[in-house]
Amino acid sequence: MNISDTFIPTLREVPADAVIISHRLMFRAAMIRKLSNGLFAYLPLGLRSLRKLERIVREEMDAIGSLEIKPTVIVPGELWKESGRWDAYGDALMRIKNRLGADFVVSPTAEEAFTALVRDELSSYRQLPLSLYQINTKYRDEIRPRYGVMRGREFIMKDAYSFHTDDASLDETYQKMGKAYRRIFKRCSLTVIPVQADSGAMGGSGSEEIMVESEIGDNTLLLCKTGDYAANVEKAACKPDYAPVAQGEAALAAAAKTPPMEKIDTPNVKTIEELCAFLKSDAKVFIKTLIYRARNAEIDIPGDKTFFACAIRGDLDINETKLTALLKAAEVELAGEADVERITRAPVGFAGPVGLEGIPLIVDHSVTAINDGICGGLAKDLHLKHVAWGRDFNAALAADIRTVKAGDACPSCGAELYEKKGNELGHIFKLGDKYTAAMDVTYLDENGKTCVPIMGCYGLGLDRTLASIIEEHHDDDGIIWPMSVAPYHVIIIPIKYEGAVKQTTDTLVSALEKAGIEVLLDNRDERPGVKFKDADLIGIPLRIVIGEKNLAGDEPKVELKQRREKENRLVKVSQAANEISSIVITELADLNEG
């Protein structure tokens, strides 16, 4: 392709809102242009890379037997009402009404559409497992789209959905997907971090996010220095720094030497920090109690299902995602002041587990190791000391609801965990029967019994994957494309496209194209410096410069430079096509292997 025949309006400057490097480079390299906040058009160069990524994703999905289909982008709202997500999804769901008043959504994800399609076709267990995917336009009505295509409103997602008779079958597909994702990112030369992720009310280990490290990442990851553990903070566990959970007799025995509980007058002392200072104690001896309000909690414990008291050791924080999953709730939030005062019969700041009535108490495991603690006294300016778990109070449930932090111990090996910020590129998830049950999908098993299939879902964002490749592969001059997703394999720059230079150029281009190598020919009448700058900016992996000087003499040569290297070298014209093809083929093979 001649540069003059395509459309690559490169730029020196970019708009002020392009703050991250991939956004800046995609603009400058004329890969994308902005139509509106969060809406980007791919220009020819960007689309070539996007299509290559799409092909990689498609090949890997096909290789694990997932079948491509194409539902619509606009999906009937009825299906979302059936699943319950019409109400539950939140404002990022683009709900629209057509001229007849019917409801539709612009799909942000497609559990409903796939489930509805399968529902109509499924009759027998013999049809399962079934794994389907699409690579299609998605839309999220982001309130603050940012960072270019990294967090746009409209984007391309590969989303797969699988249907199964049992957990073993679901797990098999889930594992295959995980491997396919690793291959996809490997083929893009992208360093990813697979992490355990929140799996909502489902529980279990059936949720993995594939993250890429990023300063602007909106996820916090906890990673073990030894590499044997990685989890999203929403899910991360740690090895406890206290004795194991004590219940009943064991709890009483642990509290055997604790003096009887005593009231302490604590005028105007409300926060843990204030208490520590006031009592000259370490936060670890405090029992911090918070009142939460949950939406649609389905946890099976007696009592109120709207308000929950949650207690944790004073130096730790409650993880609301873990709590939401534990309660099987749609959402949790801290209760308002009025509710707290009503429930604790005291101003905010004096909640405590001892004598709290009317709502269930849930404690983090850390609380079960406290046998001589301090807590709020359920009255203004009152705290209690010498409080012992199992002696002075009990809970409806003890569970892990702790936010793990850098410095906590790896749950696997005990080594120190550290934190990174990450962006999610993919997510594989065991859904269970959430959608199939809600949408009434059934099949007959071997015995003719009506059963509900279980599902997995597997998403992968193509635009942000592309942007992440640039984040990882660039230098000050521009993008450094891995061969597999480069818009072209080779850029050829004739110093002056005429005479012998033109002849050599044309012969080389033609030989390379015959060999299946994608060539971009900079046939513009521009200064070499301009051409070199553009070549570096758009990041084509191989650059060939053809000039009169190197063509003169007995052994005419051209200059070959790999984008990722500083140095160039001379290659004989007679060997150039072979040499270039060989580099391209080798790099593609290296990326594709394994």
Provide, rounded to whole angstroms, the least separation between the CB of residue 490 and a second copy.
19
Q: How far is CA 555 from CA 59, 552, 581, in A?
A: 43, 8, 20
Instruction: Please identify, using beta-carbon distances, which residue of 362 and 457 lies nearer to a second copy.
Output: 457
Provide, rounded to whole angstroms, the least separation between the CB of residue 15 and a second copy.
11
Q: Of 234, 225, 363, whose CA–CA distance to 292 is shortest?
A: 363
Residue 65 interacts with a second copy (CB under 8 A): yes or no: yes
Provide, rounded to whole angstroms, the least separation between the CB of residue 37 and a second copy.
9
Instruction: Please identify, using beta-carbon distances, which residue of 116 and 236 lies nearer to a second copy.
Output: 116
Beta carbons of 536 and 477 less than 8 angstroms apart:
yes
Measure the CA–CA gap between 467 and 25, rounded to whole angstroms. Answer: 9
Residue 499 interacts with a second copy (CB under 8 A): yes or no: no
Residue 43 interacts with a second copy (CB under 8 A): yes or no: yes
Beta carbons of 204 and 430 less than 8 angstroms apart:
yes
Measure the CA–CA gap between 381 and 270, rounded to whole angstroms. Answer: 8
Residue 570 interacts with a second copy (CB under 8 A): yes or no: no
Residue 6 interacts with a second copy (CB under 8 A): yes or no: yes
Instruction: Please identify, using beta-carbon distances, which residue of 8 and 361 lies nearer to a second copy.
Output: 8
Measure the CA–CA gap between 205 and 557, rounded to whole angstroms. Answer: 58
Quick one: which H or E segment has residue 37? none
Residue 68 interacts with a second copy (CB under 8 A): yes or no: yes
Beta carbons of 445 and 457 less than 8 angstroms apart:
no
Instruction: Please identify, using beta-carbon distances, which residue of 121 and 554 lies nearer to a second copy.
Output: 121
Instruction: Please identify, using beta-carbon distances, which residue of 14 and 382 lies nearer to a second copy.
Output: 14
Instruction: Please identify, using beta-carbon distances, which residue of 130 and 367 lies nearer to a second copy.
Output: 130
- CB neighbours of 450 closer than 8 A, spacing ≥ 6? 442, 443, 444
Residue 69 interacts with a second copy (CB under 8 A): yes or no: yes
Provide, rounded to whole angstroms, the least separation between the CB of residue 99 and a second copy.
5
3-state secondary structure 107-136: CCCCHHHHHHHHHHHCCEHHHCCEEEEEEE
Provide, rounded to whole angstroms, the least separation between the CB of residue 474 and a second copy.
22
Per-residue contact string for residues 128-167; x = within reach of a second copy by CB under 8 A: --x-x---xx-x-x-x---------xx-------------
Provide, rounded to whole angstroms, the least separation between the CB of residue 39 and a second copy.
5
Provide, rounded to whole angstroms, the least separation between the CB of residue 390 and a second copy.
49
Measure the CA–CA gap between 176 and 192, rounded to whole angstroms. Answer: 17
Instruction: Please identify, using beta-carbon distances, which residue of 153 and 383 lies nearer to a second copy.
Output: 153
Q: What's the DSSP call for residue 296?
A: S
Measure the CA–CA gap between 5 and 20, rounded to whole angstroms. Answer: 30
Instruction: Please identify, using beta-carbon distances, which residue of 46 and 353 lies nearer to a second copy.
Output: 46
Residue 5 interacts with a second copy (CB under 8 A): yes or no: yes
Provide, rounded to whole angstroms, the least separation between the CB of residue 128 and a second copy.
11
Provide, rounded to whole angstroms, the least separation between the CB of residue 213 and a second copy.
28
Provide, rounded to whole angstroms, the least separation between the CB of residue 136 and a second copy.
8
Q: What is the DSSP string of 188-232?
A: TT---EEEE---GGG-TT-EEEEEEE-TT-SEEEEEETTSS-EEE
Long-range pairs for 392-396: beta carbons < 8 A, 24 or more residues apart: 392/261, 392/354, 393/353, 393/354, 393/355, 393/356, 393/361, 394/361, 395/311, 395/353, 395/360, 395/361, 395/362, 395/363, 395/367, 396/301, 396/302, 396/303, 396/360, 396/361, 396/362
Instruction: Tell me the HSE value of 377 on the side-chain side, using a 13 A CA sphere.
Output: 18
Residue 42 interacts with a second copy (CB under 8 A): yes or no: yes
Instruction: Please identify, using beta-carbon distances, which residue of 141 and 477 lies nearer to a second copy.
Output: 141
Per-residue contact string for residues 79-108; x = within reach of a second copy by CB under 8 A: x-----------xx-x-x-xxx-----x--
Beta carbons of 197 and 207 less than 8 angstroms apart:
yes
Q: What part of residues 510-549 is at the interface with a second copy (CB under 8 A)?
A: none
Provide, rounded to whole angstroms, the least separation between the CB of residue 76 and a second copy.
4
Among 17, 44, 503, 530, indicate the residue that binds a second copy (CB under 8 A). Answer: 44
Measure the CA–CA gap between 209 and 113, rounded to whole angstroms. Answer: 23
Question: Phi and psi for 17 in degrees, rounded to 5?
Answer: -75, -5
- Residue whose structure tokens are 């019969």: 345
Cis peptide before 129 (omega within 30 of 0): yes
Provide, rounded to whole angstroms, the least separation between the CB of residue 97 and a second copy.
9
Q: Of 229, 227, 194, 224, whose CA–CA distance to 212 is shortest?
A: 194
Among 19, 67, 253, 406, indicate the residue that binds a second copy (CB under 8 A). Answer: 67
Write the burial class of residue 442 (CB in 10 Å: 0-12 exposed, 13-18 middle, 19+ buried).
middle
Provide, rounded to whole angstroms, the least separation between the CB of residue 171 and a second copy.
20
Instruction: Please identify, using beta-carbon distances, which residue of 74 and 382 lies nearer to a second copy.
Output: 74
Q: What is the DSSP string of 334-364?
A: EPPHHHHHHHHSS-TT---STT--SS-EEEE
Instruction: Please identify, using beta-carbon distances, which residue of 115 and 484 lies nearer to a second copy.
Output: 115
Say how many residues touch a second copy, by CB under 8 A. 50
Stretch that binds a second copy, among 28-36, 217-225, 248-256, 542-550 (CB under 8 A): 28-36
Among 13, 120, 249, 567, indicate the residue that binds a second copy (CB under 8 A). Answer: 120
Please report, as ranges, the residues that interact with a second copy according to CB under 8 A: 5-7, 9, 33, 35-36, 39-44, 47, 50, 65, 67-76, 78-79, 91-92, 94, 96, 98-100, 106, 113, 116-117, 120-121, 130, 132, 136-137, 139, 141, 143, 153-154
